[in-house]
Amino acid sequence: MKPVVIHRQRKYEAEQAIRDLEKRGYMVTFPLTSFSRDGKTFDRDNYNRKIFVENTHTTCWIAKMVKVEKCDSCGTVLRIDKGEDFFIEDENGGFVLCENCWLQYEKQMKNAR
């Protein structure tokens, strides 16, 4: 699963977006950081030549987040983008297991056969 990248012009908006996603089960992988860049604004004159107008300064707040799942058996935190989590379907729907719980589940299934 791809990470969610938050881009906001104001810091309080970015912090609110992070809090909202944390409530939905996401984890911060790249902390909230301010990126600034300077630029120049140009205009055209009657002869279609560029004329400098002003310097511009813009700031952007950026953070990256990843969806986090917990193992249904032991409760350990799993990151969806890693290969350590397993989705197994049963009669009631899908559930998530960590590698250790998945191996135990496989042993139980072999013993049941």
Lookup: tokens for 56: 């511009």
Residue 5: pLDDT band (50, 70, 90) is very high
Residue of higher predicted confidence among 99 and 16: 16
| Amino acid sitting at position 89 | E
Q: What is the mean pLDDT of residues 42-68?
A: 92
What's the CA gap between 62 and 37, in Å, rounded?
A: 13
Neighbour-count burial of 98, counting CB atoms closer than 10 A to its CB (0-12 exposed, 13-18 middle, 19+ buried): buried
pTM: 0.60
Average pLDDT for 98-102: 72
pLDDT surpasses 60 at 92: no
Alpha carbons 47 and 62: distance in angstroms, whole number: 41
